[in-house]
Structure 1
Amino acid sequence: MNKIFYSTVVHRSIISLEGDDKINFLQSIVTNDIKKAKNQYAVWAALLSPQGKFLHDFFIFLFKDKLLLTCEKEREDDLLLRLEKLKLRAKVTLKKENTLKLFVLWNPNIPSEEQEKIVIENIKNHTNLIFFPDPRLKNSGMFIISEPNSFKTSFDNNIITSKSYLDYDEFRIKLGIPDGSKDMPVEKSYILENGFKELNGIDFNKGCYIGQEVTARMHYRGLIKKRLVPTYINGSPPPAGSLLTINDKKIGVMMSSVEKNGLALVNLQEWSKLEYLDLKFEKTGIKPLIQEWINKEKIS
């Protein structure tokens, strides 16, 4: 039997929102419809600046009387400060959930439905674990929010096996999924250039939120100029932020990478040629690998 891999998502922490106005407050400022976050279903969303630029991304999950957000650990205080300023007189209490950790479970060789069935049938203590499939892509894994000791004692070793977080990070990169400020520079990035529409991170029917006007205009007028794509790196991985070229012409920027796999933000001017050309960083070749979920016809 193939085991399901797991790892602690070490760079993410959990904050909670409580109070009578928690849902309406969050609904009015983030990109997705948080009313979908129920019945073991999380939503992925972003907080934007008024100019429509990326600030934070997170999963949102409703658990009992709390909304739980999985934010970047090093930027947790920045998110809390922004939320405190935005809530005004709303009846919302914000709190760091320091005893809770985020775990990811995945195996690219096991279909998502089978993975979920294995996990659900073999959890020994459901009350101490918050489980949800990754809402971004069908086969991108599952997440569990739990205290570390509860997680470790809730599964038999013949069901799951520990892996380095870099193993998951490489899996994520191959799928073309961005991970916060590692792939989306803060106050510089547009989420539509980073797959938020295709990855279920935005709802165009939910109503107003911060940055909604700019985002909607980019979507409906076709103003997207760049896209984040997976790449194969033939050589030493370029540092994040490195400029990528074709025939000495700037064509993109390198983002996060693990071993031979990386993500790059590339200009759509060369989109039609992208699968047939190698990008370059110094002497390193960078080969774009366009995933099926990235619809070339609709965005070129």
Structure 2
Amino acid sequence: MYYYKLKKKTIICIEGKDAISFLQGIISNNTNKLLNNRAIYSTLLSPQGKLLHDFFLFREKNKIYLDPVDSGVEKLNEKLNLYKLNSEINISKKKIFSYFLFFGKSINKILGLKNKLGEYKKLSYAKVFNDPRNINLGLRIICNSKKEDVEINKIIKSKKLIMNYDEYEKTRIMNCIPDIDKDNLYNNAYLLQYNFENINSICWKKGCFIGQEVTVKMKNRGSLKKKLFTIKSFTKKFKSPEEIKYKNQIIGSTTSHFNNIALALLKINKISNIRKKNKVIII
């Protein structure tokens, strides 16, 4: 079992009587799923349907917390305030003390979580939740004080967790999980192209959200020409970006990688005859 301590220092808090309805009208997932014991994953798109932000959400009473990548906090905060208009909400940035990833087989049991996507608990020493995208990505831990951080480090020591971010990256790529920074997705990616439909970021039944029209049209028309896949080579290590060829034809390019595995945006009509193993394309 493994852990990694991120350099993350800020999350966003939205509170007020219109908090749920405000988010419901702009993000791709359904805020009605956001219970006190459940975290969800969602995105905020441009009106043209391209990805601007992705984030986890969890709720504590009348407060909703958005947990984006650190590089996206400022832009997301600005965008939320732009859309706020007359909504009776308060949007603020909240400092945190530390942020951990725990991952590996049955890792959730260490902190008393079930093997359930998005399960959330506020413990006496931290906020913890299973990653709602894919259970193989383990759990996330937010500490608000040095005291909480010390408690988590005691658990790391007692359970003999190994610090290894490379193992996390390997798991992310093998499960075809895009990363907005590493895969260069900001304002470049459509959700259906980059596997967001399969990592619990979209609710098709919730009603309108920003960028919905473009996203729904792509789904209904089946107009995708390229899609994100996990690829693997037994003969080389990948780079990113790197052109991917099959029978001397360019079929796509990598977006992020770890040694001999990578995420790659590939032409759908060019991969039908390529060998696959457990949904991984062998190049």
Q: Which amino acid aligns with 1:127?
A: S
Shift of 1:210: 0.2
Change in Cα spacing, 1:116 to 1:255, as seen in structure 2 (3 Å) is: same
SS of the aligned residue for 1:16 comes to strand
Name 2:66's counterpart in structure 1.
69
Amino acid at match of 2:192: L
Paired residue for 2:94?
97
The within-5 A match list for 1:28-43 is 28-43=25-40
Percent sequence identity over matched residues? 31
Aligned pairs (5 A) from 1:197-208: 197-208=197-208
Deviations 1:155-177 (A, max 9, x none): 43222524133331222112111
Match of 1:85 among 82, 85, 94: 82
Contact kept in structure 1, 2:51 and 2:190, CA below 8 Å: yes
Q: TM-score, normalised by structure 1?
A: 0.81
CA–CA distance in structure 1, aligned partners of residues 160 and 9 of structure 2: 21
1:160/1:192 CA distance change after superposition, 3 Å: farther
1:117 Cα shift?
Answer: 2.8
Q: SS at 1:194's partner residue?
A: coil
> How far off its partner does 1:289 sit?
6.6
Structure 1 residues 67 and 35, CA gap change in structure 2 (3 angstroms)? same
Q: For 2:29, what is the secondary structure of its paired residue?
A: coil
Q: Which has the higher mean CA deviation after the structures are superposed, 257-266 or 8-17?
A: 8-17
Normalising by structure 2, report the TM-score: 0.86
Q: Classify 1:190/1:32 alpha carbon distance in 2 versus 1 (closer, same or farther; 3 Å).
A: same
Structure 2 contact 36–60 (Cα < 8 Å) conserved: no
| 1:100/1:194 CA distance change after superposition, 3 Å | farther
Report deviation, 1:43: 0.9
**Alignment gaps of 5+ in structure 2:** 114-121
Over the aligned positions, Cα root-mean-square deviation in angstroms equals: 2.4
Alpha carbons of 1:221 and 1:11: their partners in 2 closer, same or farther (altered >3 Å)? farther
Q: 1:147–1:25: structure 2 CA closer, same or farther, 3 Å change rule?
A: same
* Aligned length in residues: 269
1:141 to 118, 138, 141: 138
The Cα of 1:228 is off from its aligned counterpart by 1.2
* Equivalent in 48, 51, 54 of residue 51 of structure 2: 54
- Distance in 1 between the 2:274 and 2:46 partners? 31
AA partner of residue 11 (structure 2): I
Gaps of 5+ in 1: 277-287, 293-300
- State the alpha-carbon separation in 1 of the partners of residues 190 and 3 from structure 2: 31
